Amino acid sequence: MTDQKEMHESQHHIVSPVTYAIVFGALLVFTALTVGASYVEMGIFNPIAAILIACIKAMIVVLFFMHVKYSSKLTKLTVFCGLFTFLALIGMTLADYISRAWGQW
């Protein structure tokens, strides 16, 4: 399914160590950020911030360490499908639990 040219590119594009180092640094910063945020009272935004930071960290690992940014459309589609199904599982199951004692949570 991949274009021959696109596939060659994805196979031959070598991500530079500088990119890796920047991502590594960013991951360390975000980790410090998330630990720090847990000590601050932010009400409903605590879990939101934690998940958001985790998502950003995961995203840069996926894009750069796992080379998805430089990969074929098929790889990107595959990652998306995994994410989509994962969210469907969680979302639809939670839909049941959320609505059970509607208004009493």
Partner 1 sequence: MSATIVSLPDQSTARIPKVNFITKENGLLSWLLTGDHKRIAILYLVSLTFFFFIGGALAGLIRLELLTPQTDLMATDTYNKVFTMHGVIMVFFFLVPSVPATLGNFLIPLMIGAKDLALPKINLLSWYLYVAGGLLAIYTMATGGVDTGWTFTTPLSTHYVNTNVLTTGLAVFIAGFSSIFTGLNFIVTIHKMRCPGMTWFRMPLFVWAHYAASILMVLGTPVVAIAIVLVALERTIGIGVFDPTKGGDPLLFQHLFWFYSHPAVYIMILPGMGVISETISTFSRKRVFGYTAVAFSSVAIAVFGFFVWAHHMFIMGISNYAVLVFSLLTMLVAVPSAIKIFNWTFTLYKGSITFETPMLYTFGFMGLFTIGGLTGVFLGTSGTDIHLTETYFIVAHFHFVMVGGMLMAFLAGIHFWWPKMTGRMYPEKISQLAAVVTFIGFNFTFFPQFILGTLGMPRRYASYPPEFQVLNVFSTAGATILGVGYLLPILYLTWSLKYGEIAGNNPWQATGLEWQTQSPPLTENFPATPIMDHEAYDYEWLENQKEKEVASVG
Partner 2 sequence: MSDSTAIAHSAHDAPEHGHEEHPAYLRHHFENVEQQADAAGFAMWLFLLTEVMFFGGLFTAYLIYRNWYYPAFVAASHQLDIFWGSLNTLLLISSSFTMAMGVWCAETRKKSGLVLCLVLTFILGIGFLGIKTIEYKEKIEKHHVPGFHYSLNSFLNPDSDEAAKKAGDQPLPLDMARHTEVYFSLYFAMTGMHALHMIIGIAILGFMIYRAQAGAYTAGHVTFVENFGLYWHFVDIVWIFLFPLLYLISRHANT
With residue 32 as reference, give the H or E element that holds it: helix 17-37
Selected binder of partner 2 within 9, 53, 69, 70 (CB under 8 A)? 53
**Site for partner 2 contains 46 (CB under 8 A):** yes
The item of partner 2, partner 1, none sharing an interface with residue 33, based on CB under 5 to 8 Å by kind, is none
State the Cα–Cα distance between residues 28 and 36, nearest whole angstrom: 12
**Site for partner 1 contains 38 (CB under 8 A):** no
**Site for partner 1 contains 1 (CB under 8 A):** yes
The number of residues in the chain equals 105
Half-sphere exposure of 77 (CA within 13 A, CB side): 5
Least separation in angstroms between residue 77's CB and partner 1 is: 10
Give Cβ neighbours of residue 58 (< 8 Å, ≥ 6 apart). Answer: none
**Site for partner 2 contains 82 (CB under 8 A):** yes
**Site for partner 2 contains 33 (CB under 8 A):** no
State the Cα–Cα distance between residues 17 and 8, nearest whole angstrom: 21
Please give the single-letter amino acid code of residue 25. G
What is the C-alpha R_g of the chain? 19
Contact 71, 10 (CB under 8 A): yes
Q: Which residues bind partner 2 (CB under 8 A)?
A: 1-4, 7-8, 11, 14-17, 20-21, 23-24, 27-28, 31, 34-35, 37-41, 46-47, 50-51, 53-54, 57-58, 61-62, 64-66, 74-75, 78-79, 81-83, 85-86, 89-90, 93-94, 97, 105
Q: Which residues bind partner 1 (CB under 8 A)?
A: 1-2, 74, 81-82, 85, 88-89, 92-93, 95-97, 99-100, 102
